[in-house]
Amino acid sequence: MLSPYRVLDLTDERGMLAGQMLADLGADVIQVEPPGGSSARAEPPFASDEEGVDSSLFWWAYARNKRGITCDLDTPQGQDLIRRLAAGADFVFESDAPGVMAARGLGYADLAKADGRLIYASITPWGQDGPKVDYVASDLILMAAGGPLVLAGMPDEPPVRCAVPQAYHHAAADAAGGALIAHTERRRSGKGQYVDVAAVSSVSAATQSLILSHAIGDQESKRASGGMQLGPLRARIIWPCKDGWVSLTYFFGNAIGPFTQRFMEWAHEEGMCSDEDLAKDWIGYGALLFSGEEPIAEYTRIQGVVEAFLKTRTKAECLEQAQKRKLLLVPVTTIEDVATSPQLAARGYWRDVERPDGNGTVRFPGPFVRVDNKPLEYRRRAPHVGEHNAEVYGELGLSADEIAALRDQGVI
């Protein structure tokens, strides 16, 4: 879909997803690394647990479908090369600290002078201005500053970080989306734009409606660790089962109560629930609890009955009964479960891609969107360091001797 367009990707691990999304959409994305390789190549995990410039699975994932070149952006010669490449590009992505690219003469104002159609996106922790503009930020800091971290963890313990870093991926995806929105406008007006993405804003937006509670004076959400807290009442959602975990919505009221009733009928049939427990009014149970007619300690006890029953069932058995009995009950899948999912296999989700280390192929997750008329394809494995130097710099008109000289001087 974007095959007529070229992207100059100057990002590191903080922004590579943006260029990768446009690459998956068919754009010619040129990933620029420092001589010796990008810092993203040092991101774990590593193939066979062996560190190396071609063994980072992070690099394999986020550099796929891209051509790769090297260039020292802190040298005059390197800066000149980038300006020449940008003159033939439709998009530029960068993730340096605010002011760094401008100091190199490679900021939006510099490059847009030569091409007013250029769309230039910057991905930074805090944006290009404001009191925190020069602060550095890890994923943990951004998730804390943006809000999501306050909801992660046990209710009586400090919040905990998400195991897989998310903040910069949110920002990079927003940069890709923002750039394509600007591209839509460019097709109408012929003018490019500057896209300023602050990761803290991206993760704040990811809280969706929860961030609005403070603005309207509502009770703010609290950590509930696999459940939700309603005043003194803690309602669980995540429960242990025989071979892992399941999500069971075990609430009450007109909307949810019938599902809870059907679950209790199943437990009763299996001899894991008393007649008295089965006979509870799951439609009006909330009113009983909040009026004090039914003590919260009794609801806590009945949750123990539910847990004891689920611990006797596997995830597969729970899913089978959920479908049969129309329950709000689903397994919590592991990475292995996802990798062996018959649903994903039936949709042809997985893609075999050549490994950059030359050891055969590796199975990749499929494209982020399925499009029927122009399916997204994985055309290239992740590049080696400087793999396409001769090809890309040759497109600028440089001779083999000139390219070799730049390499000898450490510019590329």
| In-domain check, residue 1 | no
pLDDT at 262: 96
264 and 287 belong to one structural domain: yes
13 and 104 belong to one structural domain: yes
Res. 121: pLDDT tops 70 = yes
284 and 198 belong to one structural domain: no
Is 199 within 8 Å of 171 (Cβ atoms)? yes
Res. 235: pLDDT tops 90 = no
290 and 362 belong to one structural domain: no
178 falls in which pLDDT band (50, 70, 90)?
very high
Nearest to 145 by CA among 155, 159, 128: 159
What contacts 186, CB < 8 A, 6 or more positions away? 117, 119, 192, 193
Per-residue burial over 37-59, b = 16 or more CB atoms within 10 Å of its CB, e = otherwise = bbebbebeebbeeeeebbbbebb
327 and 367 belong to one structural domain: no
Number of domains in the chain: 2
Q: Is 47 helix (H, G, I), strand (E, B) or coil?
A: helix
358 and 318 belong to one structural domain: no
354 and 331 belong to one structural domain: no
214 falls in which pLDDT band (50, 70, 90)?
confident
pLDDT at 33: 98
CATH number, domain with residue 135: 3.40.50.10540
Instruction: Tell me the per-residue pLDDT of 254-310, one tens digit each, with 9 for 90 and over.
Output: 999 999 999 999 999 999 999 999 999 999 988 898 888 989 899 999 999 999 999
- Which of the pair, 165 or 331, is modelled with greater confidence? 331
155 and 199 belong to one structural domain: yes
pLDDT at 240: 95
pLDDT at 220: 66
Is 387 within 8 Å of 398 (Cβ atoms)? no
Residues 177-181: what's their mean pLDDT? 97
- Which of the pair, 199 or 227, is modelled with greater confidence? 199
55 and 163 belong to one structural domain: yes
Long-range contacts of 393-402 (CB under 8 A, 24+ apart): 393/69, 393/81, 395/88, 396/81, 396/84, 396/85
Residues 83-108: what's their mean pLDDT? 97
pLDDT at 302: 93
Residues 379-384: what's their mean pLDDT? 94
| In-domain check, residue 343 | no
226 falls in which pLDDT band (50, 70, 90)?
low
pLDDT at 183: 97
Among residues 280, 304, 335, the one where a domain terminates is: 335
pLDDT at 208: 66
Q: What percent of the chain clears pLDDT 70, i.e. is strictly above it? A: 96
Residue 55 lies in domain: 6-205+350-408
pLDDT at 376: 87
Exposure of 69 by Cβ count < 10 A (0-12 exposed, 13-18 middle, 19+ buried)? buried
| In-domain check, residue 217 | no
Among residues 282, 302, 335, the one where a domain terminates is: 335
Res. 155: pLDDT tops 90 = no
Res. 390: pLDDT tops 90 = yes
pLDDT at 129: 94
Q: What percent of the chain clears pLDDT 90, i.e. is strictly above it? A: 72
Instruction: Tell me the per-residue pLDDT of 158-167, one tens digit each, with 9 for 90 and over.
Output: 888 877 889 9
354 and 330 belong to one structural domain: no
Model confidence, pTM: 0.86
CATH number, domain with residue 315: 3.30.1540
| In-domain check, residue 220 | no
Instruction: Tell me the per-residue pLDDT of 1-58, one tens digit each, with 9 for 90 and over.
Output: 898 999 999 999 999 999 999 999 999 999 999 999 999 999 999 998 888 899 999 9
| In-domain check, residue 212 | no
Exposure of 229 by Cβ count < 10 A (0-12 exposed, 13-18 middle, 19+ buried)? middle
DSSP letters, 154-223, are: -TTS-----SS--HHHHHHHHHHHHHHHHHHHHHHHS---EEEEEHHHHHHHTTGGGGHHHHTTPPPP--
| In-domain check, residue 344 | no
| In-domain check, residue 35 | yes
pLDDT at 289: 86
Is 171 within 8 Å of 15 (Cβ atoms)? yes
39-53, 76-90, 220-234, 346-360: least confident range: 220-234
Res. 156: pLDDT tops 90 = no
| In-domain check, residue 216 | no
306 and 355 belong to one structural domain: no
Among residues 309, 335, 361, the one where a domain terminates is: 335
124 and 199 belong to one structural domain: yes
